[in-house]
Structures are given as C-alpha cells and as structure tokens.
Amino acid sequence: MTRAETSQTSEISETATLLVSRGVRKRYSGVQALRGVDFDVHAGEVHALVGENGAGKSTLIKIVSGAEAADAGTVDVGGRRLTPGDTNAALAAGIATVYQEPQLFGELTVAENIFLGRELRRGGRLIDWGAQRARVGALLERLGLDPVLADVRAADLPVAEQQLVSIAKAFAHDVRVLILDEPSAILTDQEVQTLFRVIDSVKAEGVGVIYISHRLDELVVVADRVTVLRDGEVVATRPARELTVRQTAELMTGHALEERRVSRDAPASDPVLEARGLGAAGSFHDVDLVLNRGEVVGLYGLVGSGVNEVARALYGIDPADTGTVTVGGRVRRLRGTRDAVRAGVAMLPANRKVQGVFASKSIGFNISIGHLRLLSRFGVAMDRRREKVVAADFLRRIAIKAPGVHSLVGTLSGGNQQKVVLARSLVERPDVLVLEEPTQGVDVGAKDEIHDIVLSLADQGSAVLVVSSDLAELQRLADRVLVMREGRPAGEFPRGASQADLLSAAAGGDDEEAPTSLDEARAAITEEVNQP
C-alpha cells in the first residue's frame, strides 16, 4: 500500500474515535506525572505521543493499558469505560502494548511464543502444532512478514525482527489500539522502513496506533497526528504535516532552540589508541583505526557492517582474534573488559541493561560509582561531600528530571535513567572513551547537553570513539567518520561530510552515482534491501 492510499484510509475513518481519555491525573511520591491529560485515537490513524524525558508519556500509556490506575480521569474504548488499573480489561477491550525491548522467550519458536499460554489443542488436550503454525503463518503474512519465521527460535532472530514478532503476537488477540513504545529506537534505517510497512498494514485494517518516539524526523513519515506532552500536560495536538521537527522540539522544551553547529580544528596527530589489522572471524576484518588525543572519531555502518563488534573488541567484550591494539604506546591484549579498563579504555554500551543501573540506589550513588573507580585508581578515599557536588552538577547539566540527588534511580523515567548511566561513565574521564548510541532514548534538550559534555571531554584530552546510527549526531560530534560495510572499512570522511555521503558509503554506493540527498540515499538502500 502506498502512503497516499494509507492517508486516505485514515481520513475516511476519521469520525471513528476508538479511544478517548479525559482529565487523566497521576501523582507519584513527589512528582505530578500527569496533570489532566486529554488524548484520543481515531481508527486507522497513527497518533504520535512525544515529550522530553519525564514528560509523562510512559505514565499515560500505563494508565491506558491498565498497568497503572489514574488518580482522576477516565479512559473509554469503543464507547465503554475501562476499569482503572485492570490490564485484563484493557486487553479485552483491544488495547495491546509493544515495548521497545521484545518480550519473547528466546528458546521458543515464534509460533510457540505467539500462542504461549493459550495453545490451540486438538480435542481439548494435545497441542495442535499444525494448526498453530498455519495460524501464525497467516498472521505473519497479514503483517507483510515472511511466514517461514513461524518455526525459527526467537533468539535466532535479529532484534528488529523480534520486535515485529512482538507486534504479530499482539495481533493474535483482537487489537483495536496498538501502543508502540519507542519502537524505532533500536532499529537501523532500513529496519525502520519495514516497521513502517507493518504499521501501514495495521492502519489499513482500521487499528489506531499510539506511537511514542524521540526520533522527531520520522513523525512526518509515520504519524497522522502528534500530541506533545510537557511536564504532564498536553501543550499541542496537531496534524503531523503541520509540524516541523524544530517546531515539535520547541513545543517539547517550551523555548526556541538555536541552530547549533560545531566547528573544531582537527586535533594534531598524537595517537592514544592504534588498532592495526584488527579482525574477528565472521564479523570484521582488516580494520585500522587511530584515535588521537582530543579527537572524536565516528564509526558508522548499517546492520552487519561490524561497527558495534569493533567497539566491543576495543573494550574486550568480544575480543578480536587478529591484529594489534596499542594504547598509550604499549601493545595491549584486550581479552576482557578488565584488560580494557586497565589500559584506560571506558565504554558506554548501547544495551544499557548490560551495564545496568543500581535501581534501588540513589542518583548520587549511581553517578559516584564512576567517581569511586576514578579515585581508587589514584588510591584516594572517596569524599562523600564531593560525590554529592559532582552528582548535583550532572543533574543540572544534563537535566536529569528528579526531585534531587537522593531520588532512587528506579523511580526515574527510562531516558533519565540513561542519562545517569552516561553521567557515571563521563565522571571517570578515561583516556579512551567508546560510546555506543550515546543519546538513544534521550530527549532533544539533553542530547545537546550530552554532545557538549562529550566534546568537552575531548577538549580535555580524551580520545573518543562514537558508534551511532544517528547521522546528525555523527556530523555534530565527529572530527572524522570511518564508515564500514560488510565487516570492512569502506571510507573515511572529515568533519563537514554530508549525511548522504556517509549513508551511501555504508550502503556500498559508488562515487559516480553518489546520491544528492539523504532521501535519495535512503531510497537506494531500500531498493537494495528489497532485491531478491
């Protein structure tokens, strides 16, 4: 289905309002998370819900899906009032929620996952595997996915497909309103295209979609309407086509945003880290990489390019099996993260859960853990007063939304927890810092602050490697961008290179046919991916 046809569908069914919430209020200890929110969803539309970290998006969807009860206000679905705080009632009314991280059992097949707990049985006893597989196949096909996925173990699928399977699982029930909580945050450009195709097909069936995202540039493509929340209040609900990214960002923050350009002189050649001929069987080969003192180097590539694996090898998570790495003039064997830390390399991995926060501890504690490592490196005892000052400074600088440094990290919104993890690694001021998707899930205002912090770390002499799928982020941060394709280096670009250049090098475009715009580069990739 084309976009034009899709939007027609949503206009036709505009009168059918599936979900209406009125005057929703919710208070947690010390925080008024929602202050009387009105929000509705029409049949066949994608209604995006955006706002800064802590604006109240997750709280609203928890109330709509019955995971939390509101203090005041109502939610009606199909004209019937939902019982507050009752997930079964919400499910029965047709509300399904798909979270960013797929909630599947890795050891089970896709079909088993989809029917888990409500298996189809023959004569009421034996599981009817054949019938299940056929139903799942039809379901996958309905969403434009390959029916052969039914028999694949969930753990063997890439995370993007696991997410699409989670959507399929939701559709095993009768869905009227599908809630997608930051579905694109962990996806690459071409995976996002597939997600949008699936969204188009569910829209065409008259399902209403609530779409939460921090990637504002995709709203004009995927959303019909946009609601902006700020501090628990709706500040605007508008057709997506009437809002630019900048206007949306300004509504979110409540103030005008300046256009920010970074101009930085390329740092002099003074290698802190040098990797030569680095390789790991099956994932990357022949990688030469130099990080100079005070330099920010970007590493960019599509899925399967090996960029994340290179970063993980430099931090000793999945060691390389060929080549050498020299840090601070000494050849290092990075066989584990302890070797990397000893060599002065720190990393903020993309999957924050790997690194984890101490949810039951305060913000101050979580940030000072990084500080403790720094101080203990010099054999100095930790100074508690200083710990509080450092944490309070970060709270202010990267706008962590919380009552104070004593607040427990477990009570913060997802994005704010991420800022705490970042603050911790920045406190350590490592010689080499490897950042993987440093601003994923973080709002626009905090993104700028995080970029400023990374650049000031480089100004103070750290060498920084940033692996990011956000091209605008790489343009802003990186003095140089190395592009990888299918496990090998595919080009190097100085600061000032266009997004189209980076994307086409990553996708294997040749120079003679270099695309002139980002859209053209994206279209070329989609075409390549869709080729049999």
Which CB atom, from 243 or from 409, has the smaller least distance to ligand ATP? Answer: 409
Which residue's CB comes closest to ligand ATP? 415
Which CB atom, from 56 or from 84, has the smaller least distance to ligand ATP? Answer: 56
Tell me which amino acid residue 99 is.
Y
**Calpha distance 220→48 (Å, rounded):** 10
Which CB atom, from 71 or from 520, has the smaller least distance to ligand ATP? Answer: 71
Q: Which helix (H) or strand (E) holds 322?
A: strand 322-327
Which CB atom, from 233 or from 274, has the smaller least distance to ligand ATP? Answer: 233
Which CB atom, from 8 or from 411, has the smaller least distance to ligand ATP? Answer: 411
Cα 517 to Cα 341, 397, 493, 513, 524, distances in angstroms: 41, 35, 17, 12, 11
Which CB atom, from 336 or from 356, has the smaller least distance to ligand ATP? Answer: 356
Cβ of residue 104: shortest distance to ligand ATP, in angstroms?
A: 22
Backbone dihedral region of 151: left (phi > 0), alpha (psi from -120 to 50 degrees) or beta?
alpha
Which CB atom, from 55 or from 164, has the smaller least distance to ligand ATP? Answer: 55
Under DSSP, is residue 304 helix (H, G, I), strand (E, B) or coil? coil
Cβ of residue 28: shortest distance to ligand ATP, in angstroms?
A: 3
* Contacts of residue 114, Cβ cutoff 8 Å, sequence gap at least 6: 132, 136, 139, 165, 168, 169, 172
Cβ of residue 312: shortest distance to ligand ATP, in angstroms?
A: 26
Cβ of residue 45: shortest distance to ligand ATP, in angstroms?
A: 21
Question: How many residues would you count in the chain?
Answer: 532
Cβ of residue 59: shortest distance to ligand ATP, in angstroms?
A: 3
Cβ of residue 444: shortest distance to ligand ATP, in angstroms?
A: 11
Site for ligand ATP, rule CB under 6 A: 28-29, 31, 33, 51, 53-59, 401, 411-416
Tell me which amino acid residue 218 is.
E
**Calpha distance 464→263 (Å, rounded):** 17
Which CB atom, from 194 or from 416, has the smaller least distance to ligand ATP? Answer: 416
Cβ of residue 100: shortest distance to ligand ATP, in angstroms?
A: 10
**Calpha distance 83→69 (Å, rounded):** 9
Count other C-beta atoms under 10 Å from residue 282's C-beta.
Answer: 10
Q: Quick check: 248 and 256 in contact, CB under 8 A?
A: no
Which residue in the block uniquely carries the two structure tokens 């690459």?
A: 188
Q: Quick check: 107 and 81 in contact, CB under 8 A?
A: no
Which CB atom, from 147 or from 414, has the smaller least distance to ligand ATP? Answer: 414
Which CB atom, from 412 or from 467, has the smaller least distance to ligand ATP? Answer: 412
Cβ of residue 111: shortest distance to ligand ATP, in angstroms?
A: 32
Cα 349 to Cα 287, 308, 320, 467, distances in angstroms: 20, 9, 17, 10
Longest CA span, the chain: 76
Which CB atom, from 301 or from 415, has the smaller least distance to ligand ATP? Answer: 415
Count other C-beta atoms under 10 Å from residue 314's C-beta.
Answer: 28
Strand 463-467 and strand 296-300: the pairing is: parallel
Which CB atom, from 224 or from 443, has the smaller least distance to ligand ATP? Answer: 443
Give the rounded distance of the alpha carbon of 205 from its chain centre.
Answer: 27
Which CB atom, from 404 or from 508, has the smaller least distance to ligand ATP? Answer: 404
Cβ of residue 416: shortest distance to ligand ATP, in angstroms?
A: 5
Which CB atom, from 212 or from 466, has the smaller least distance to ligand ATP? Answer: 212
| Terminal alpha carbon distance of the chain | 19
Cβ of residue 223: shortest distance to ligand ATP, in angstroms?
A: 17
Strand 17-28 and strand 31-42: the pairing is: antiparallel
Under DSSP, is residue 20 helix (H, G, I), strand (E, B) or coil? strand
Cβ of residue 412: shortest distance to ligand ATP, in angstroms?
A: 5
Phi, psi for 422 (deg, rounded to 5) = -65, -45
Cβ of residue 91: shortest distance to ligand ATP, in angstroms?
A: 21
Nearest to 463 by CA among 315, 223, 296: 296
Cα 149 to Cα 52, 113, 114, 117, distances in angstroms: 36, 12, 12, 20
Nearest to 329 by CA among 293, 281, 354: 293
Cβ of residue 107: shortest distance to ligand ATP, in angstroms?
A: 30
Q: Quick check: 464 and 436 in contact, CB under 8 A?
A: no
Cβ of residue 70: shortest distance to ligand ATP, in angstroms?
A: 12
**Calpha distance 419→415 (Å, rounded):** 6
Dihedral sign for Cα atoms in the order 206, 210, 211, 217:
positive
